[in-house]
Structure 1
Amino acid sequence: MEHPTAGEIRFGDTTVADASRGYVMEPGSRNAGLVFQSYALWPHMAVAGNVDWPLRVADLGREERRARAAEAMEMLGVAGLAARYPGEISGGQQQRVAIARMIAPRPRVLLFDEPLSNLDATLRVEMRTELMRVHRATGATAVYVTHDQIEAMTMATHVAVINGGRIEQFDPPERLLSDPASAFVARFIGTPPANLIPVQAGAWFGRMPDPALRGATGQGMVRAEDLALADAPGPDTFAASWSRWCRWPVAGW
């Protein structure tokens, strides 16, 4: 809805916004669907009417609208609620109706604005699976905004980590864990977060760094799951010491 002040936004080969020439395509012409955080269902329309509405706006024929609405409601498991109104169904069912309404016009881009934040924990897990199934069934590109790391890491093929309005890294989930692009990403992604330790380039487990890096300083990343106790000294081990505060041995640097 906002007009960008710089750059372009393209859906495939279609430019939907270009700040350099002041061009912005009308949202309704972009062949994109949106699920709002608040569902935004029409309270005076039954479930079937809500799902049918974007098809009516698109000026599709009655029979095609009926077929598409029925297909979308069946896919989301709300066909049996077609005659009920939003106020007569649960939050989880309202969410399913909102998604059915989005996919009925068969858009090629699906936009999700924190769609599960209003659901309880158990229902969120169920709906994650449902959304991934819908994504596979439609074949559309999905852009999903969330503050929940578990949602992002379990659902996405690629994740954009945003800090202060800027994208710090855009990569598959496993790459964010194994090769974070910044200290922020290293601390932000993962449970527990990574341990960051000030380091200076030098001999490391018997291996020397690139000469160009000799003496350089930075931060070394160690994730808890990568630590293990060794039975004997080896090439990739270092000495551990007993902590003053606990009875378990901890790594000493």
Structure 2
Amino acid sequence: MLTLEQKQLIQEKAKAIRVNIVKAVTAAKSGHPGGSLSIADVMSLLYFQEMNVNPNEPKDPNRDRFVLSKGHAAPALYATLAEKGFFPTEELLNLRKIDHILQGHPDMKYIPGVDMSTGSLGQGISAACGMALAGKIDGASYRVYSVLGDGELEEGQVWEAAMFAAHYKLSNLTAFVDFNGLQIDGDITKVMSPLPIDEKFKAFGWHVIVVDGHDIDALHEAVTEAKATTDKPTIVIMNTIKGKGVQAMEGQVGWHGKAPSQEECDKFVAELLEV
């Protein structure tokens, strides 16, 4: 169980991450705010409570690994890494700008703290599986975490990876599904329904946990349960709200890949800071 101080820190960091997501996408005049805001809570929990990572040693071989399989939500990862101290927060305002490190999708070559370049949906979770298998073979203590989008589950490669992870009993792998119900073309059930997500992963041999993706305690308990699962990989299906924290964005597919105006940014930031 988290202490009150631990929970408050995670919540404060999640707020800071959301504020910086909005600021970064506004400065870039492009990006994906909706699905970035919906994963801020799990990002904060992982980086400020669960994961063994050190900004001073970003390539430490014993570090835990994180792969953002839904790479278009890079603003969430960048805001988290900046808040953790991997690079200055001011760099977030250079998102998607030429001659700066923060590209539209994560880039492991130039961005401190990024463990895998991602963007082509389905490939991130596959890379995470490879990292987890390497850890098993080497007898390493590190764990691997990955976040997928619910629309991403329409990619066949995700299910190849799911089969692979179960076959090799990758108990050091914990994946999260950002189940906000919306993708760029609309409701996931109308585009190409991946439901029922829980039953599919159970059928593929995973340990399945379903939680409120904005409940810090529930997320922490899920990660704890995943660590205690020793014979199979774990999938945490997070029921989330796209655009979480900004009322005008919440549950609105139009904010999947649209940047706020400066006026909207100021309003959204003020709203986030009030909570």
Structure 2 length-normalised TM:
0.28
Higher strand share: 1
Higher helix share: 2
Structure of greater relative contact order (alpha carbons < 8 Å, 6+ residues apart): 2
Structure 1 length-normalised TM:
0.30
